[in-house]
Amino acid sequence: MTPVPDYKVRKHFPPGPRQQPLVGNLKDIPSGGNEWDAYEALGKKCGIDVVYFNALGSHLVVLNKFEAARELLDKKGSIYSSRPRLVMINELWGWDWNLIMMPLGKAFQAYRKVVQQEFQPSVVAESHRIIIARETIAMLGRLMKTPDRLPEHLKQMAGATIMAITYGHHVTSADDEFVALAEAVREHAEKTPGSSIVDVIPLLKYLPSWFPGAQFQRDAEIMRRLSLDMRLAPYNAVKKLIDYGTAVPSIITRLIQSESPLEGVPAGEFAMNAAGVIYSGITVSALLNFALAMSLYPEVQERAQQDLDRVVGRDRLPTFEDRQELPYVSNLVKETLRWKAVSPLALLLTARCNSAMLHDESVYTSPHEFDPNRYNPTPKRPTGEPDPSRAAFGFGRRICPGRYFADDALFLAIACMLHVFKISDPSESRERAQVQWSSGLVRRVSPLVPSPFPYKIIPRFSGAQDLSRVSERCIMKATR
């Protein structure tokens, strides 16, 4: 299958704001933070659920309603799930190795199959859960010592989990070399627009980087080097360990040691590319949103902690097996995925404005409130309000292949943090959160992160500190 040719796409695109010559709807595209609110408002103003924009020649279809997303992405996936020509990202940044950016086709199928297999529910349960648990408990220990460094501890936890699963690499410090390389790519992507004038006039990609106005070339050079280092360094390290016979089994060892599933791409290169796509900062963003919600909604936090005390007690930490008995905490995980969007609007071919879907007033009551009870059955709604996972993890052929893993990782981190800590707002005022999400960049590729907010984290009961220390020692022994 090939990417959708431009003329075909344009012919079928829905209505949208009037376009200016050359730049199209660039000025209409919301920017400056919390863009989803503006997309939502625009959809409402135009009276349509599907809005079309042309940004510097790139097509963007914003889907504001769940049904519209299902119709286009689940049922017409072969048209709307591909990617357009991405001059900046794929040709200048050199990201054509990256599954997320790939148009539908043989390479997409081969990479997607591997990621899907490695993160299917049975593999997550049998192999990844123990690593999630180890790194979650290690995060609790660090948070006990330095509670004012929550974002840093969450990043280390997420990075360490992924590095262990993908490369069999045990992260033991905040400045781990491989996590630092992946973070450097994420940080550069956060600052650099994934779209520019080269997407309109592709010939400009041949401009030399010293040419006045060719800042995009200089940024792209940095990105090319950073993303090559990010893939190459851990790959080379594992290759050496395989040669010495001391490699820990991981996704990359399995790939290196089997035949390449993609004709024309050697097994080593395939392994490096498949592994490179797995590092995701998105669970960190979701957990920061969770912490913010807990500081703003103390009654929700207390309700969850009552359940944890009843089901788990105070002599141990929560486990995956407790989830069945903790429906309120499970609903709190759902609400974390719904309350604030974390996946970038992406601006590739279709952007599910999943925030609009997840805040649709015809579906969710008081959608901007954080309320885990909304998923409980009521006489009017016997199945409760809909599970937001569907919209939060995307649709059709591009649905997030890491969703089972992400859901488990979120559950355990949330349950454990609630169990041992009290998270509060030091200013004790619900009004104060002037938090912004997102950067306003056109074609953003990194997750949406809330801007820094004040919080206070303290142990919830006197034995909490010992509990996390003892648990850490036990799990380290079990996984060594």
Residues at the binding site for heme are: 400
The H or E element spanning position 459 is: strand 456-459
User: Residues 60, 293, 346, 357: which binds ligand HEM (CB under 6 A)?
Assistant: 346
What would the two tokens of residue 411 be? 């559950």
Which residue positions form the known binding site?
A: 400
In which region does residue 417 sit, left (phi positive, over 0), alpha (psi from -120 to 50) or beta (all else)?
alpha
Residue 345 lies near ligand HEM (rule: CB under 6 A): no
Of the two residues 216 and 404, which places its CB atom closer to ligand HEM in the complex?
404
* Least distance between ligand HEM and beta carbon 34 (Å): 17
**Other CB atoms closer than 10 Å to residue 480's CB: what's the count?**
7
Query: Count of H helices and E strands in the chain?
Result: 20, 5
Residue 278, interface with ligand HEM (CB under 6 A)?
A: yes
CB of 442 to ligand HEM, least distance (A): 16
Please tell me whether residue 402 binds ligand HEM under the rule CB under 6 A: yes
389: DSSP letter: H
Within 13 Å, how many C-alpha atoms sit on residue 18's CB side? 1
Contact status: 392 vs ligand HEM (CB under 6 A): yes
Map the footprint of ligand HEM across residues 184-213, applying CB under 6 A.
none
Does 97 sit near ligand HEM (CB under 6 A)? no
Contact call for residue 282 and ligand HEM (CB under 6 A): yes
Burial level of 428, CB count in 10 A (0-12/13-18/19+)?
A: exposed
On whether the CB atoms of residues 363 and 321 are closer than 8 A, the answer is no
Q: Count residues contacting ligand HEM (CB under 6 A)?
A: 23
Q: Does 406 bind ligand HEM (CB under 6 A)?
A: yes
Choice between 278 and 464, CB closer to ligand HEM: 278
Told to check if 115 binds ligand HEM by CB under 6 A, we report: yes
Cβ closest to ligand HEM, residue 165 vs residue 197 = 165
Closest by CA to 229, choosing from 156, 190, 303, 279, is 279
* Interface residue with ligand HEM, options 50, 60, 65, 112 (CB under 6 A): 112
Contacts 24+ apart (CB under 8 A), 299-303: 300/332, 300/370, 300/371, 300/372, 301/418, 301/422, 301/423, 303/328, 303/372
Note whether 293 binds ligand HEM by CB under 6 A.
Answer: no
Applying CB under 6 A, which residues contact ligand HEM?
99-100, 112, 115, 119, 277-278, 280, 282-283, 286, 342-343, 346, 392-394, 398, 400-402, 405-406
